[in-house]
Every structure is written in C-alpha cells, then in structure tokens.
Amino acid sequence: MKTKKKIAWGDYITYIGVTAAFIAVTALKNGGALNRSQLGLLVPICAYITMAISLNLTVGVLGELSLGHAGFMSIGAFSGIIAAMSLSELIPSAGVRMAIAMVTGAVFAGIFGFLIGIPVLRLRGDYLAIVTLAFGEIIKELINCLIVGYDSAGLHILINFDGSKTASDLELLEGGKAIIKGAQGAVGTKTIASFTAGYILIMIALFIILNLIRSRAGRAIMAIRDNRIAAESVGIEITKYKMMAFVTSAAIAGAAGALYGLNYSSLTAAKFDFNTSILVLVFVVLGGLGNIWGSVVAATVLYILPEALRSFADYRMLMFAIVLILVMLATNSSRTKALFEKLKSAKKEEEQ
C-alpha cells in the first residue's frame, strides 16, 4: 500500500511540475527575458509534450509500436484550422475558437483513430508498426489533395486526386476565403494558439492519461501489454481496450495538432511526415516507456536541445544524433546495465 501512495504522489508532482514551469516561463515572458525565437518555441513545445504523452499511451501503456502518430496530429491540425477559420466571424473570441478547434481536432483524429485501428490492431509487433507508418504516409498524401474554403454559404471541400484542381475551383462567393490549398497546405491562418492554451491542453492530457492508467480500463490496457494471452484468460476484451487506448491516444494527438496548426500562418501536410512521428517516438522512448512525467521532460529537453545547439549551426543535428545513440547505449547496453545493478545492490547493502 506504500507504493500506491507513492504512485499517486508522482501524479501530483507531474501536475505541479508542469504548472511551476508554466508560471516560471510566463514570468520570464512577461518580464521580456525571452527573445523572439525562444517565444516562438513555446507553443510547439506544448504541442510536442502533448504528442509525447499521447503516444506514450499507445507505445508505453498499450505496448504497441506506432510509427504514424504524426498522421493524427496532421488530421487534428487541419480540421482544427478549418474549424477555427470558418468560425472566425461567428465567434469573435480567439480563446473560444481555440478551444473549439482543439475539440474538433480531437474528434476528427479520434474518428480516424477508430477507423485505422480496426485493421491496425489486428496485427502485431513490427507488422503493426509498418502499417501505422503506412497510414501516416497515406494521411499526408490525402491531406495534400484537400482544397477547402468557406464563404457565406458554408464550407466548400474539394478533393484533388489528379492534381488538376486549384483553390479557384471552389467557386467561393464574394468575401469567401480559401483555408487549405492542396499541396500548399493551410495558408493565411490566423494564429490564435497561445502558450496558455498549450498549458491547459497539457494539463488535460495529463489528467486523462494519468487517471486512465490508474483505473480499471487502464489496468486492462496494461494487462494486454504485459501478457495478452493471460489478459484474455481473465476475461478482458482485448479488442475493446486496445481500441480504447489507440483512439484516446489519437484524439489527444489531434488536439495537439490543432494547437500546433493554429500557431503558424501557413502549414503543409509535409510537416507531419514520418520524421515527425519518429521524433515523438524518440521523446517517448528516452523519457521512459509508460513514464508520463518522463515524456514531458524528454519532449521539452529534446525539443530545445537542437535549438540550444544552434550556435554549432551545421553540427547540431549531427550532435543530436550522437547524443541519441550514446544515451541509448548508456541506458540499455548489457554492460552498463550490469554496472547499474552493481551500484544498486551496493547501495542496498549499505542501507541494511
């Protein structure tokens, strides 16, 4: 029972840590201590932290490797942009529109998560991974075919499979505006995303996932991860709980996408490619599988790291790669593990 209390404390520390960081950064920001490029990082960091938390649900808690998480971010980003832009006259408050955009992003990503989950969750291991990768690429190409605009008559959506159509084919009425122009992506988006919105999103995502893990459903999901056959044998509906984790994960990624998308006046689907999925996966693995607080820290540090290395200009990505390899070798190789074990047991002996 001791450990139980410890775990619950860990959750509170996560909330407190995130809040403290938010307050500190806001103070720095208001005090004018941050330069332009640092300010520009705030919202993307929040989006990537949320992405990492949500992917941790699939990879760390459910135990299925997903290589297409950026696809859900993409769906969330573009559906969120459409929602926010088309409501810009109806709802003047940017905050409310931001909230609606994130909910829309979450809903659409959740729906796609469900549809994609039907085939994906029937597969296992690396096969599942390669199919999530495939879906990520498919989403990217499909969004590249999307042309969307709005006018007084409502939303106009065109799907441009053969590459022959442009925004003018939407035939918008006077005063209408194109929101997404095919491969050019979203253009002229009003950037309503804010650091506060990002903070709230992280807190909601943390609340959902941490509480889920400590509930009946979360235990079922972790049971599937640890031993699928045993989980079946105690009457857990594998498909239902896998889907629950996958859809929740996708929906949160969608909300993160909406936050990210509304932070830039122009955005293409190519931003959410395989490399983005991998980047988020790196955050999750380095932060520790199933360790939500670890994801938050890893996402923050690793997102800032390449920026901090900017003074090394050309070498920064190279250094990032080397750091990544060294960290993995240091934390996972059998030799260093044996060393840690030794230290641990030595410490235990001392305590006794």
Partner 1 sequence: MEFLSYLISGISLGSVYAIIALGYTMVYGIAKMLNFAHGDVIMVGGYMSFVAMSALHLPGWVSVLAGMAVCTVLGIVIEALAYRPLRSAPSLAVLITAIGVSYLLQNSAQLIWGANPISYPPVVSGTLHLFGGQLSISYVSLVTVAACILIMLALTAFTSKTKMGKAMRACSEDKGAAQLMGINVNRTISLTFAIGSALAAVAGVLLCSSYPTLMPTTGSMPGIKAFTAAVFGGIGSIPGAFLGGLLLGIIESMAKAYLSTQLSNSIVFAVLIIVLLVRPAGLMGKYVPEKV
Partner 2 sequence: MSFSFERGKLAAVPSGSVIPERDLDKTPILETRHLGIDFGGLHAVQDFNLTIGRTEIAGLIGPNGAGKTTVFNLLTKVYQPTKGTILLDGNDTAGKTTEQINRMGIARTFQNIRLFNNLSVEDNVKIGLHNQEGYSMFTGILRLPNYWKQEKAAHERALELLSIFEMQDQAGVRAGSLPYGAQRRLEIVRALATNPSVLLLDEPAAGMNPSETAELMENIVKIRDLFQIAVVLIEHDMNLVMNICEGICVLNFGQVIAKGSPEEIQANPAVIEAYLGRKKEA
In the complex, the residues that contact partner 1 under the rule CB under 8 A are 59, 65, 119, 122-124, 126-127, 129-131, 133-135, 137-138, 141-142, 144-145, 160-163, 183, 228-229, 274, 278, 281-282, 285-286, 289, 314-315, 317-318, 320-322, 324-325, 328-329, 331-335
Counting contacts by CB under 8 A, is residue 297 touching partner 2? no
90 contact, one of partner 1, partner 2, none, CB 5-8 Å limit per kind: none
Q: 205 and 275 in contact (C-beta within 8 Å)?
A: no
Q: How far is the CB of 240 from partner 2 (least distance, A)?
A: 9
314 contact, one of partner 2, partner 1, none, CB 5-8 Å limit per kind: partner 1
Note the Cα 196 to chain centre separation in Å.
17
238 contact, one of partner 1, partner 2, none, CB 5-8 Å limit per kind: partner 2
R_g of the chain computed on alpha carbons: 22
111 contact, one of partner 1, partner 2, none, CB 5-8 Å limit per kind: none
Q: Which is nearer to partner 2, 239 or 265 (CB)?
A: 239
4 contact, one of partner 1, partner 2, none, CB 5-8 Å limit per kind: partner 2
Q: Which is nearer to partner 2, 103 or 217 (CB)?
A: 217
Interior angle at CA 179, CA 174 and CA 185, nearest 5 = 140
Q: How far is the CB of 117 from partner 1 (least distance, A)?
A: 13
Cα–Cα distance for residue pair 101/83, rounded to 1 Å: 6
10 contact, one of partner 2, partner 1, none, CB 5-8 Å limit per kind: none
Counting contacts by CB under 8 A, is residue 348 touching partner 2? no
Q: Find the binder of partner 2 among 168, 227, 275, 332 (CB under 8 A).
A: 227
325 contact, one of partner 1, partner 2, none, CB 5-8 Å limit per kind: partner 1
Q: What are the CA-CA distances from residue 29 to residues 21, 38, 111, 193, 241 (Å)?
A: 12, 9, 37, 16, 42
Q: Which is nearer to partner 1, 9 or 340 (CB)?
A: 340
Counting contacts by CB under 8 A, is residue 96 touching partner 2? no
244 contact, one of partner 1, partner 2, none, CB 5-8 Å limit per kind: partner 2
Q: 50 and 200 in contact (C-beta within 8 Å)?
A: no
- Choose the binding region for partner 2 from 2-10, 102-110, 132-140, 167-175 (rule: CB under 8 A): 2-10
Which 241-280 positions form the footprint of partner 2 (CB under 8 A)?
244
Q: Find the binder of partner 2 among 30, 35, 164, 233 (CB under 8 A).
A: 233
Q: How far is the CB of 146 from partner 1 (least distance, A)?
A: 11
Cα–Cα distance for residue pair 111/20, rounded to 1 Å: 34
Q: How far is the CB of 205 from partner 1 (least distance, A)?
A: 22
Residues of this chain that bind partner 2 (CB under 8 A): 1-4, 207-208, 211-212, 214-220, 222-223, 225-227, 229-238, 244, 290
